[in-house]
Amino acid sequence: MDWKSQIDKSKLPKHVAVIMDGNGRWAKEHGMPRVFGHRSGVKAVRETAEAAAEIGVEYVTLYAFSTENWNRPKFEVDALMTLLVSTLRGEIRTLNKNNIRLEAIGDLKNLPSKCYKELTEAIEKTKQNTRMTLVLALNYSGRWEITNAVKQIAAEVKAGNIDEAEINNELVNKHLTTSNMPDPELLIRTSGESRVSNFLLWQIAYSELLFIDKYWPDFRKSDLNEAVATYQKRERRFGKTSDQLK
């Protein structure tokens, strides 16, 4: 089916978040090392970004590396960091060609220095692009982000800059790494696993969750289009009843 033709452009999610899962299992099924799966997932990143930009999605956030991923075998972590550097360097031209701006969230300054340098350079070289924003979640976890926000707010209360009574959802939002973007309306996870794995815990409170059996390296433009078309068939009530929406 041509899923792209099924999409209602007037009801697009502004922000789509993706947990890119299944690289290791995909590699194993192909008789290759896990790192081969990560390398093969780069094409899926490119196709997802291009597909989202083509239909008019404004933000795509990809869960690229969690704070928990440091617990993986050292050779795999090292390979992932090397892949990140080479991918960032190689994709700048494609991002600019498609008018896509790159941003990143997470504890970025604690990335390896070479990775941080390549990341900041890629962000700088694409900052003028306006068609869509591609956000990489690197050295990121939802609990880390919320804890960090709490620390910032506590420091402001202690300094007398804000009163405890002023703390509300909006104030917390302002201290999150995603403060400059809307919450994701759609969260996609590949590989068949049905969990959110510490990703955007505050922001996905009312997101539609879609779990796809396909491994990430096999994810293509048609899959993103199908996910958006599926999202548009769901009723988003935000605590209300169906009758109230009507």
Q: Calculate the dihedral angle through the C-alpha atoms of 187, 192, 198, 202, rounding to the nearest 10 degrees.
A: 30
Helix (H, G, I), strand (E, B) or coil at 107: coil
List residues bridging with 208 in a β-sheet: 186
If one counts every other C-beta atom within 10 angstroms of the C-beta of residue 17, the result is 27
3-state SS, one letter per residue, for 37-97: HHHHHHHHHHHHHHHHHHHCCCEEEEEEEEHHHHHCCHHHHHHHHHHHHHHHHHHHHHHHH
Task: Supply the DSSP symbol for 106.
Answer: S
Half-sphere exposure of 122 (CA within 13 A, CB side): 27
Which of 2, 69, 161, 223 is labelled catalytic? 69
Contacts of 32 (CB under 8 A, 6+ apart): none
Q: Which of 2, 21, 71, 107 is catalytic?
A: 21
Q: Catalytic site residue 69?
A: yes
The pair of three-digit structure tokens given for residue 207, joined into one six-digit string: 């997101």
- Identify any residues that bridge with 194 across adjacent strands, giving them in sequence order: none
Phi, psi of 144 (to 5 degrees): -60, -45
> Can 99 be counted among the known catalytic residues?
no
The CA distance from 154 to 176, in Å, is 14
Measured in Å, how far apart are the chain's first and last C-alpha atoms? 30
Residues belonging to the active site: 21, 69
